[in-house]
Chains A and B, each alone.
Chain A
């Protein structure tokens, strides 16, 4: 049996009818309604739950220190002019006529003392901030005061050297430091982002698993139902087995895809509606935290690669479901038929999760080419720079060939077994069955 026009005649009609049957099926309607309602209410419910459970963050807006006494023993005068928005606005700064030895007798519980001097032993300036043992302000206020005094002292030193405003801004500009191991540094240099990779791999694999497993279940059920109803013989007078099985697989794939698109659309609609009357910032930050926002910014090329790979993976799993379903003749076999496909997909998924541990290009290429594993690894490896576009195209070509072979195999198995009644045929027997010589008219 080949993929020619005659063998595929009326596939469109089979797709149309099967799709309609799926849409009209009561169980499917009930499941769809439940999931769509769940999707629609999910955002408002999660928003409300997150709002109730999130601890109230207190942003300090004021400094509780009412006065600061400064004992400046250096040649650099401390001057200040706080804006009304500054937390230090309103705090009184005094010149102290006392030292660190007697500050505890001279200041109040809402005041602090600052001693600035040149430490000749250390050959450096020292800024020391003091408060009473029991204060009316938080220790963080003292830390803030310490930073403020450092800044004012630095500014005064620079001003004494006639530094311009621009130079001052440049000199006092903040900076941060970071430390990393050599491995992390090299990984970063290679264009990888472990966290982002994990998120993309996770979301992509989940998409394959959900689409694949749902479609497998539906395809197996559709095939067995048709066989069980004995109508398949009438069907075969009008269409070729390849058209029937292809139509069935494509219809189920479209239905499952449309179903999840509707679910996603429901969530998006729910998001837009909810955000107009509820605080959804909690969900936004959660999405940011788990890295989905970063994944969104991968770019159109990466999105295209992921989409094509997802389509190939989806098609391959659906055809495997078709083969598995063709080998069954009663609903009792459905579970085992489904399990055999699930087993193959999970083995592929588990092996693909080992890919990042083999930190070499040949290993990445191998993982991108081995069937089943490649559908999980190839696009991720390409997006994160492990394999070249040539290897990706090779992987796609290889997957396409396997899909064509599986389609023909599935059609052969289906045409040999559509009137078969009995126990589920094992894979080895299927192979010998498909190799059996057939005389066509």
Chain B
């Protein structure tokens, strides 16, 4: 058993902000904590990480109470931050040593992550020479050139960059480096894709995939349902401090059944849809998105269309997306 969260309760005065939340991560993978704004996701994460006191509940990591001593945790917080006026390298080394890495281990880890996250030029300002050095290191025949490049690199070493000299996206990369620096067993990512451009979203996604491949436990909180759906195996949807839906995402989807139908035909079939009592979600020319009660209803419609000689271009039956499940569950309570 990896992570166990039992009966977590947090109150501010009389206001309950997390109400008796329980979930488990039995094996490595991604667990998604989803919810509307103010539902209690970040509060839950902060309680799990011991930053916030809790009124009740238990958090266990592999059978022992979770703490910095029992679990190597990496955390990318929702509210991003670095020391704005201090050199990036100093900050990274500080966090690495706080996580118990030696200076040399930290330096090597920083170099690997800097390369992976494409931020060498900010951490190693003599990056032209650095790049040359890196290229040469792959070539065994040019030992003399490597030494020359190294000397040149140390000669050209310019002052490290400060955090406030970086763009928001690059600062976020440095923060991800901090959370990964100690190769954590449990990685907590609160809104990891917020504020990133599509290129960097892809970069972050590829890094998350690598961490999944390394069998890490990952808790992710995000409003980008498509991105979460890509990785997560289990979910909890929080709404107004309570868990409104929990479990394995595939099973949840199965439980809903294939209730989404996408149809594309050559002619207008609105009359057929009204007759079959399906819920038309949207229509664009002759492409229809329908909510159906089950596969039989869809098959009946298809049979009717074929028997009447209507040409069907697309007939796609699918389970609801995480986005739809989320909107349904969170929206349900908001409507009520």
B98 on the A face (CB < 8 A): yes
Q: Which residue of chain A is the closest to B93 with respect to CB atoms?
A: A17
| A-B interface, 10 closest residue pairs, ranked by CB to CB distance from nearest | A230-B81, A441-B65, A438-B53, A238-B98, A231-B81, A233-B77, A230-B79, A237-B75, A229-B81, A17-B94
Stretch at the interface among A19-27, A51-59, A86-94, A339-347: A19-27
From B73, B75, B98, residue with most partner A Cβ within 10 Å? B98
CB atoms of A234 and B86 under 8 A apart: no
Within 8 Å by CB of B98, from A13, A24, A232, A438, lies A13
Q: B164-201: which residues lie under 8 A (CB-CB) from chain A?
A: 175, 178-179
In the complex where A439-B56, A441-B67 touch, is A234 in contact with B179 (Cβ < 8 A)?
Answer: yes
Within 8 Å by CB of B46, from A17, A21, A419, lies A419
Between A and B, 11 residue pairs with Cβ closer than 8 Å are: A6-B67, A20-B90, A226-B83, A230-B79, A231-B81, A233-B46, A234-B77, A235-B95, A237-B68, A419-B79, A440-B65
> Chain B: residues with CB nearer than 8 A to chain A?
46, 49-59, 65-69, 73-75, 77, 79-86, 90, 94-95, 97-99, 175, 178-179
Contacts of A231 in B (CB 8 A): 81-83
A236 to B73 CA separation, bound complex (whole angstroms): 11
CB atoms of A234 and B95 under 8 A apart: yes
A156 on the B face (CB < 8 A): no
In the complex where A13-B98, A21-B83, A25-B85 touch, is A236 in contact with B49 (Cβ < 8 A)?
Answer: yes
From A226, A229, A235, residue with most partner B Cβ within 10 Å? A229
Interface string of A399-441 (1 = CB under 8 A from B): 0000000000000000110110000000000000000111111
Within 8 Å by CB of A229, from B49, B67, B68, B84, lies B84
CB atoms of B95 and A238 under 8 A apart: yes
CB atoms of B52 and A439 under 8 A apart: no
Q: A12-71: which residues lie under 8 A (CB-CB) from chain B?
A: 13-14, 17, 20-21, 24-25
A109 on the B face (CB < 8 A): no
From B56, B94, B97, residue with most partner A Cβ within 10 Å? B94
Q: Which residue of chain A is the closest to B178 with respect to CB atoms?
A: A234
CB atoms of A229 and B65 under 8 A apart: no
A225 to B81 CA separation, bound complex (whole angstroms): 11
Q: Looking at the assembled complex, report how far the CB atom of B249 sits from the nearest CB atom of chain A, in whole angstroms.
A: 27
Q: Looking at the assembled complex, report how far the CB atom of A124 sits from the nearest CB atom of chain B, in whole angstroms.
A: 88
Contacts of A17 in B (CB 8 A): 90, 94
Q: Looking at the assembled complex, report how far the CB atom of A118 sits from the nearest CB atom of chain B, in whole angstroms.
A: 94
Interface string of A211-238 (1 = CB under 8 A from B): 0000000000000011001111111111
Q: Which residue of chain B is the closest to A18 with respect to CB atoms?
A: B94
CB atoms of B66 and A229 under 8 A apart: no
Additional pairs, 10, CB under 8 Å, beyond known A237-B73, A439-B55: A17-B94, A21-B86, A24-B86, A229-B84, A230-B81, A232-B81, A235-B95, A416-B53, A439-B53, A440-B53
Contacts of A20 in B (CB 8 A): 90
Q: Which residue of chain B is the closest to A241 with respect to CB atoms?
A: B51
CB atoms of B51 and A236 under 8 A apart: yes
Contacts of B53 in A (CB 8 A): 415-416, 436, 438-440
Contacts of A225 in B (CB 8 A): 83
Classify chain A: how many residues form its interface, as a range: 20 to 34
A10 on the B face (CB < 8 A): yes
CB atoms of A233 and B81 under 8 A apart: yes
Q: Looking at the assembled complex, report how far the CB atom of A221 sits from the nearest CB atom of chain B, in whole angstroms.
A: 12
> Chain A: residues with CB nearer than 8 A to chain B?
6, 9-10, 13-14, 17, 20-21, 24-25, 225-226, 229-240, 415-416, 418-419, 436-441
Contacts of A438 in B (CB 8 A): 53-54
A6 to B68 CA separation, bound complex (whole angstroms): 9
Q: Looking at the assembled complex, report how far the CB atom of B66 sits from the nearest CB atom of chain A, in whole angstroms.
A: 6
A231 to B56 CA separation, bound complex (whole angstroms): 27
Contacts of A9 in B (CB 8 A): 68-69
Q: Looking at the assembled complex, report how far the CB atom of A157 sits from the nearest CB atom of chain B, in whole angstroms.
A: 87
A13 to B86 CA separation, bound complex (whole angstroms): 16
A10 to B66 CA separation, bound complex (whole angstroms): 18
Contacts of B57 in A (CB 8 A): 439
Contacts of A21 in B (CB 8 A): 83, 86
A441 to B84 CA separation, bound complex (whole angstroms): 33
Q: Looking at the assembled complex, report how far the CB atom of B47 sits from the nearest CB atom of chain A, in whole angstroms.
A: 9
In the complex where A234-B77, A441-B66 touch, is A229 in contact with B51 (Cβ < 8 A)?
Answer: no
Q: Looking at the assembled complex, report how far the CB atom of A225 sits from the nearest CB atom of chain B, in whole angstroms.
A: 8
Q: Looking at the assembled complex, report how far the CB atom of B109 sits from the nearest CB atom of chain A, in whole angstroms.
A: 14
In the complex where A13-B98, A233-B77 touch, is A419 in contact with B52 (Cβ < 8 A)?
Answer: yes
A415 to B68 CA separation, bound complex (whole angstroms): 15
CB atoms of A234 and B75 under 8 A apart: yes
Q: Which residue of chain A is the closest to B184 with respect to CB atoms?
A: A237
A375 to B317 CA separation, bound complex (whole angstroms): 80
Contacts of B68 in A (CB 8 A): 9, 237-240
A237 to B77 CA separation, bound complex (whole angstroms): 10
Contacts of A418 in B (CB 8 A): 51
A415 to B179 CA separation, bound complex (whole angstroms): 21
A230 to B46 CA separation, bound complex (whole angstroms): 14
Contacts of B79 in A (CB 8 A): 230, 233, 419
Q: Looking at the assembled complex, report how far the CB atom of B300 sits from the nearest CB atom of chain A, in whole angstroms.
A: 55
Contacts of B81 in A (CB 8 A): 229-234
CB atoms of B74 and A237 under 8 A apart: yes
A438 to B56 CA separation, bound complex (whole angstroms): 9
Q: Looking at the assembled complex, report how far the CB atom of B269 sits from the nearest CB atom of chain A, in whole angstroms.
A: 54
In the complex where A17-B94, A24-B86, A230-B77 touch, is A441 in contact with B55 (Cβ < 8 A)?
Answer: no
Contacts of A6 in B (CB 8 A): 67, 69
Contacts of A25 in B (CB 8 A): 85
Contacts of B83 in A (CB 8 A): 21, 225-226, 229, 231
Contacts of A14 in B (CB 8 A): 98
Q: Which residue of chain A is the closest to B164 with respect to CB atoms?
A: A229
CB atoms of B50 and A234 under 8 A apart: no
A229 to B57 CA separation, bound complex (whole angstroms): 30
Q: Looking at the assembled complex, report how far the CB atom of B80 sits from the nearest CB atom of chain A, in whole angstroms.
A: 6
CB atoms of B175 and A234 under 8 A apart: yes
Q: Which residue of chain B is the closest to A418 with respect to CB atoms?
A: B51
Contacts of A226 in B (CB 8 A): 83
In the complex where A232-B81, A441-B65 touch, is A237 in contact with B56 (Cβ < 8 A)?
Answer: no
A81 to B80 CA separation, bound complex (whole angstroms): 96
Q: Which residue of chain A is the closest to B78 with respect to CB atoms?
A: A233
Q: Looking at the assembled complex, report how far the CB atom of A232 sits from the nearest CB atom of chain B, in whole angstroms.
A: 7
